[in-house]
């Protein structure tokens, strides 16, 4: 049996590009504000660090669950839908948090889309496990 993770690979790669972009933004701001460690009290740098950190906190688990779902035979259309929602949601979250530390629609939609994808994947992976036994 050949195991393919090509769809998960696509979204992992797209998200990796976004992650690198977020890291480059932090480096750019560190150089601009001459802040080697921490945020140096600069709000734009603090926001950029949180955008990157939030990504690092949530995306690995989401991608692991997406990969498990793909290996277990999920529909390619569903996989693409979940991957696209995850990717677009992360962009919206980054834009929303970069604009303000307060409430922002993009940030809310970004987090809601992340949680929606993670919940769907968790339920579906559990369902597939139960039906396999």
User: Which tens digits make up the pLDDT trace of 4-57?
Assistant: 999 999 999 999 999 999 999 999 999 999 999 999 999 999 999 999 999 999
Q: Work out the pLDDT band at 85, boundaries 50, 70, 90.
A: very high
pLDDT at 127: 97
Q: Could you give all domains of the chain from N- to C-terminal order, each with its CATH number? A: 6-132 (1.20.120.550)
User: What is the separation, in whole angstroms, between the first and last Cα of the chain?
Assistant: 19
| Residue among 55, 45, 50, 72 nearest 12 (CA) | 55
Q: List pLDDT tens digits, range 103-124.
A: 899 999 999 999 999 999 999 9
Which pLDDT does position 49 carry in this prediction? 96
SS3 104: coil
| pLDDT value of residue 55 | 97
Please identify which residue in the block is written with the tokens 């970004």: 110
pLDDT of residue 2: 78
Is 3 a residue whose pLDDT tops 90? Answer: no
pLDDT at 81 over 80: yes
Sole residue written with tokens 């339920």: 123
Say what the pLDDT of residue 97 is. 87
Q: What is the pLDDT of residue 124?
A: 98
pLDDT at 1 over 80: no
């Amino acid at each position: 049996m050949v195991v393919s993770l090509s769809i998960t690979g696509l979204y992992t790669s797209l998200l990796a590009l976004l992650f690198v972009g977020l890291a480059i933004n932090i480096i750019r701001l560190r150089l601009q504000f001459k802040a080697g460690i921490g945020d140096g009290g600069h709000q734009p740098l603090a926001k950029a660090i949180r955008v990157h950190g939030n990504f690092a906190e949530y995306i690995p688990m989401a991608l692991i669950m997406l990969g498990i779902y793909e290996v277990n035979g999920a529909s390619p259309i569903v996989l693409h839908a979940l991957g696209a929602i995850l990717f677009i949601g992360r962009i919206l979250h980054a834009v929303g948090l970069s604009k303000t530390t307060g409430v922002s629609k993009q940030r809310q939609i970004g987090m809601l889309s992340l949680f929606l994808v993670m919940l769907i994947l968790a339920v579906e992976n559990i369902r597939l496990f139960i039906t396999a036994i």
